[in-house]
Amino acid sequence: MEDKRKRLFSGIQPSGCITLGNYLGAVKNWVALQDEYDCLFSVVDLHCITVRQDPKEFKNRSLDFFAMLLAAGIDPKEHVLFFQSHVSCHAEMAWLLNCYTYIGELQRMTQFKDKSAKHADNINAGLMTYPVLMAADILLYQADAVPVGADQKQHLELTRDIAVRFNHAYGDTFKIPEPIIPKVGARIMSLQDPTSKMSKSDPNPKACISILDSPDTIMKKFKSAVTDSEAEIAYREGKDGINNLLSIYSAVTGTSIEDAVNTFAGQGYGTFKVSVAEAVIEMLRPLQERYAEIKNDKAYIESVYKEGAERAGRIAHRTLTKTMKKIGFMIP
């Protein structure tokens, strides 16, 4: 029976580790969205090589991320989970779409400017055309919706522009995807610099919570989280550290920020930090236990990614063939 649900695509780069920010802002929402959408989820490993990778570490980390998504609750029987590099249509479609994307559009991308500043010794062409590969990832699967963090919204807008431009030139080819941006937990900030997003590449190990961190490590990191000198638990402008902790507590427990403020009113920051840490530890405990089981079952992981690539490949190949026909290529 044909699935009448709208289709959703999302991917995660296997770089660094899956942070609490990645989990709350993306992966946790993916799991929740499985009931509503026909989903394709991908470990988008091709995106990683804009930065030089150690081959062995890269391979192991990619497998870790895949296992982590399974542990988090992605259902590979109902939905498609695969490695981007296992479906060659991604690279082929990216080349086609490169030819319908303007240099000026890519130069304006905030992430390109940021990454160029961070990797001044390796400003490669892939760093600039990264958003086109992202567009290919999405448009290949005729996705109706794409869950994105606020920092990726600009890339999705470019994807929509490319799709509209191509459709205008050749007729209806691509669906125009809509963004899904979660209201809470979409942008979890650094524990040491709460004006910056929590990043898996942060050089300060205290700034970021990995979802595989031990309970002791999580507690220590939260206890050292930067706050302010007001000693008042409130959510308002100028209280970036407390705002971030309240957002984390709200996303982890399902409590509204207003209710969380009322719960901890009159308590010290130390007590509040411990409560946030305990909530995070309890949320991650079953995920960590499940991950430990899956990580050791290499045959299961391989069976999932092979089947995922086959299922994704069938959809992607149809779209790629349709696109090439529209352009005028000879199709064998």
How far is Cα 329 from Cα 332, in angstroms, rounded to an integer?
9
Exposed, middle or buried, 81 (CB in 10 Å: 0-12/13-18/19+)? buried
Does 263 lie in the same domain as 303? no
Based on the structure, what is the number of domains in the chain?
2
Whether 169 is in a domain gets the answer yes
- Domain CATH for 268: 1.10.240.10
Asked if 153 and 211 sit in the same domain, the reply is no
325 labelled catalytic = no
Question: CB-based contacts of 215: which residues, under 8 Å, 6+ apart?
Answer: 281, 285
| Distance, CA of 308 to CA of 322 (rounded, Å) | 22
Rounded distance between C-alpha atoms, residue 15 and residue 288, angstroms: 19
Residue-level pLDDT at 281: 98
Catalytic status, residue 115: yes
Tell me which amino acid residue 319 is. T
| Dihedral angle over CA of 116, 60, 65, 153, nearest 10 | 10
pLDDT tens, 240-287?
999 999 999 998 998 999 999 999 998 999 999 999 999 999 999 999
Residue 190 lies in a domain: no
Give the position of tokens 């989280």. 225
In the predicted model, residues of the chain with pLDDT beneath 50 are: 1
Closest CA to 155 of 182, 128, 175: 128
Task: For residue 277, tell me if it sits in a domain.
Answer: yes
Same domain, 246 and 309: no
Annotated active-site residue in 115, 175, 221, 239: 115
Helix (H), strand (E) at residue 58: helix 55-72
Q: Verify that 174 and 221 share a domain, yes or no.
A: no
| 140: amino acid identity, one letter | L
Write out the residue range of the structural domain in which residue 118 sits. Answer: 7-181+298-327
Residues 146 and 171 in one domain: yes
Q: Please tell me which residue in 200, 206, 223, 295 is annotated as part of the active site.
A: 200
- Known catalytic membership, residue 197: yes
Q: Same structural domain for residues 35 and 149?
A: yes
Helices and strands of the chain, counted as H and E runs: 13, 5
| Sign of the alpha-carbon torsion through 165, 315, 129, 177 | positive
| pLDDT value of position 181 | 78
The residue annotated as part of the active site, out of 28, 175, 197, 221, is 197
Tell me, yes or no, whether 193 lies in a domain: no
